[in-house]
Structure formats: C-alpha cells, structure tokens
C-alpha cells in the first residue's frame, strides 16, 4: 500500500514552507506591504509592517472535536452550497478540493452553525484562537471559515512535509501532539478522525477523478 502525501509547497505571497525537525516551530508573521496587501510568511521582511501571528514553540491551538448535538442544517442543498469558496481556497493554498470536502463532511457535515463541545465552530470547526491566527475575522462566515481551515491545512502540510495522516492528526489534535508522539497520537478520537477523513477523501476521489496529490512509494 502506498502512503498518500500532500505536496509541501510555498504559496505565493502567503505562507513559506515550514518543516518540522524538532519540537520547535517557526513563527508565522502577518505582514502588510507598501501597497497595503497582507501576506503570511515565516520571515519578517524589512519595509513591511509585520507582527507575529503564530509564535515559535507554540502550544497546540487545535482541540479535538466532540459534537454534543447533531448539525442543525439538514438541507441536502448544503452539500453544494459552498462549492465556490471551497474551490477558491483549494486553488489558493494548493490543498486538494476533495480533501477539504472530506474534512468538512467529518467536522460539521456541512453545517456552518455547528459548534463542538470544545468550542470549535463552523464548517471546518476552527477554535476561536486558531481562527484569529489564521486571519479569520468572522468565524461564522462560511467562506472565511473555509479559507481559515485551508490556510491551517497548508501550514500543517508544510510542517509535516506533506504527510497526509500527520497533517490530519495535527488538524484534529494539534501539531504538538503529533511531534510529541512522532506520528498519530494514541487518542482514539484522533485515530478515528484520520480514518474517517481518509475514507471520505478516497470515496470522493473514486467518484470524481482528482490527482493533485502525490504518492510516495
């Protein structure tokens, strides 16, 4: 069996690649250039107005999700309602569109009003603190929530050198947990989460051919 991996890349003018070598993490800066255009980088360049958005050696900002109630939005149209922002976020951050869809399916079942018992919110179940780090102004706005989640996935994919399972585990349990255990943490919820997202991702790919994901031998 081949292990799937998300290609680790630099996203133009947004996020530079970050690779995990130790338990320390690079600091991510939100900068504004001379034209007023915001960008995200791990290097605070001169001539720009920068401030740290994610500090090095940070604690995990992602809390495992547990729903206390089923999603309120059960309208079947919700599965196609967010097609455009999903496509845009996938293209911008070079995350497979069907992977984003699989994560939304598992996280919120496409209910933008979903709130976990831990306080994670929206389609991609962002914690409020994480949403702030990801420059999400309105965590309840579906488009912003999707972009924030995709932005976090890109950072994690780069951090774990494109390893899909580690990226998913970090999205659920936090980067620190994956680094600590040097792999998927021994949490039943996190392991189940990785299995479920992979299940839907493979299911969606079997229904619609999509190949912007690399395979390692």
In percent, the amount of the chain with pLDDT more than 90 equals 56
pLDDT at 63: 41
Residue 97 has pLDDT above 80, yes or no: yes
Report the chain's mean pLDDT, rounded to a whole number: 76
pTM passes above 0.85: no
Q: Are 76 and 43 in contact (CB under 8 A)?
A: no
> Ramachandran region of residue 75, left (φ > 0), alpha (ψ -120 to 50) or beta?
beta
Burial of 57: CB neighbours in 10 Å, binned 0-12, 13-18, 19+: exposed
Instruction: Output the domain CATH number for residue 205.
Output: 1.10.530.10
Choice among 34-38, 113-117, 130-134 with the minimum mean pLDDT = 34-38
Whether 12 is covered by a domain: the verdict is: no
Choice among 18-27, 179-188, 205-214 with the minimum mean pLDDT = 18-27
List of residues 6+ apart from 100 with CB closer than 8 A: 86, 89, 90, 124, 146, 149, 150, 153
pLDDT at 75: 76
Average pLDDT score over residue span 84-90: 97
3-state SS string over the chain?
CCEEECCCCCECCCECCCCCCCCCCCCEEEEECCCCCEEEECCCCCCCEEEEEECCCCCCCCCCCCCCCCCCCCCCCHHHHCHHHHHHHHHHHCCCHHHHHHHHHHHHCCCCCCECCCCCECCCCECHHHHHHCCCCCCCCHHHHHHHHHHHHHHHHHHCCCEHHHHHHHHHHCHHHHHHHCCCCCCHHHHHHHHHHHHHHHHHHHHCCCCCCEEEC
pLDDT at 61: 40
Whether 7 is covered by a domain: the verdict is: no
Residue 115 has pLDDT above 50, yes or no: yes
Whether 69 is covered by a domain: the verdict is: yes
Residue 25 has pLDDT above 50, yes or no: no
Choice among 52-61, 91-100, 169-178 with the minimum mean pLDDT = 52-61
Active-site pick, 97, 107, 144, 175: 107
Whether 10 is covered by a domain: the verdict is: no
pLDDT at 148: 96
Whether 81 is covered by a domain: the verdict is: yes
Residues 33-71: tens digit of each pLDDT: 566 555 555 555 555 566 554 443 333 444 444 443 455
Q: How many domains does the chain have?
A: 1
Residue 99 has pLDDT above 90, yes or no: yes
Range of the domain at 141: 59-212
pLDDT at 36: 59
Of 208 and 124, the structure prediction assigns the larger pLDDT to: 124
pLDDT at 7: 63
The pLDDT-based confidence of 208 (bands split at 50, 70, 90) is confident
Q: Which two tokens stand for residue 36?
A: 């007023």
Whether 46 is covered by a domain: the verdict is: no
Whether 109 is covered by a domain: the verdict is: yes
pLDDT at 39: 56
pLDDT at 216: 35
84 is catalytic: no
Whether 206 is covered by a domain: the verdict is: yes
> Ramachandran region of residue 184, left (φ > 0), alpha (ψ -120 to 50) or beta?
beta
């Amino acid at each position: 069996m081949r292990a799937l991996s998300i290609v680790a890349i630099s996203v133009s003018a947004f996020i530079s690649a970050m690779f995990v070598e130790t338990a320390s993490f690079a600091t991510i800066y939100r900068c504004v250039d001379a034209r007023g255009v915001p960008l995200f980088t791990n290097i605070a360049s001169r001539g720009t107005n920068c401030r740290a958005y994610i500090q090095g050696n940070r604690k995990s900002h992602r809390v495992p999700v547990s729903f206390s109630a089923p999603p309120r939005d059960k309208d079947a149209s919700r599965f196609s309602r967010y097609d455009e922002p999903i496509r845009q976020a996938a293209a911008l951050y070079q995350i497979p569109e069907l992977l984003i869809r699989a994560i939304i399916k598992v996280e919120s079942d496409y209910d933008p009003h979903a709130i976990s018992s831990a306080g994670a919110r929206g389609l991609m179940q962002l914690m409020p603190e994480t949403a702030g780090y990801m420059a999400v102004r309105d965590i309840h706005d579906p488009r912003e929530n999707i972009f924030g989640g995709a932005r976090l996935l890109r950072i994690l994919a780069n951090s774990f050198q494109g390893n899909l399972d580690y990226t998913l585990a970090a999205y659920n349990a936090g980067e620190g947990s994956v680094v600590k255990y040097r792999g998927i943490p021994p949490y039943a919820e996190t392991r189940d989460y990785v299995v479920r997202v992979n299940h839907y991702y493979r299911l969606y790919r079997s229904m619609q051919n999509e190949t912007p994901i690399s395979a390692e031998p």
